[in-house]
Amino acid sequence: EVQLVESGGGLVQPGGSLRLSCAASGFSFSNYWMHWVRQVPGKGLEWVSRINPDGSRTKYADSVMGRFTISRDIAKNTLYLQMNSLGDEDTAVYYCARYALDKRTGLYYYYMDVWGKGTTVAVSS
């Protein structure tokens, strides 16, 4: 079964750090771009970060640039999100998602086809 399972969320004080993990199973993890997406309770989805299949290219939302680092361990089939200098605005459910690809005559259509159940991060003193 294709599956993503997040872990590492919890309560952290402002200015603190946390590392989220996303364990992948049931597919060739090393073949896919992967993303982190977050959602403040009761609010919409916010894309956070992405990483390419071999881990050499990353990109971040402006809201987390310089504070968060995405990485992956191919041998462990695990995606990570290191979060530093956390603030109240980072309180959210964090999802990891797989970016599937549909290739059509030179066009590349990507979409998030597999999601984890999410892990909750609460930043509070």
Partner 1 sequence: DTQMTQSPSSLSASVGDRVTITCRASQSISSYLNWYQQKPGKAPKILIYAASTLQSGVPSRFSGSGSGTDFTLTISSLQPEDFATYYCQQSYSAPTFGQGTRLEI
Where along the sequence are the contacts to partner 1 (CB under 8 A)? Answer: 35, 37, 44-47, 50, 59, 61-62, 95, 100, 102, 104, 109-113, 115-118
Residue 91 vs residues 47, 75, 116: alpha-carbon distances, Å: 14, 30, 18
CB of 47 to partner 1, least distance (A): 4
CB of 98 to partner 1, least distance (A): 10
* 3-class SS of residue 101: strand
> Based on CB atoms, which residue is closest to partner 1, 6 or 90?
6
Tokens 């690809």: give the residue.
Answer: 101
CB of 97 to partner 1, least distance (A): 8
Residue 3 vs residues 24, 38, 82, 96, 116: alpha-carbon distances, Å: 6, 18, 21, 11, 7
> Based on CB atoms, which residue is closest to partner 1, 16 or 45?
45
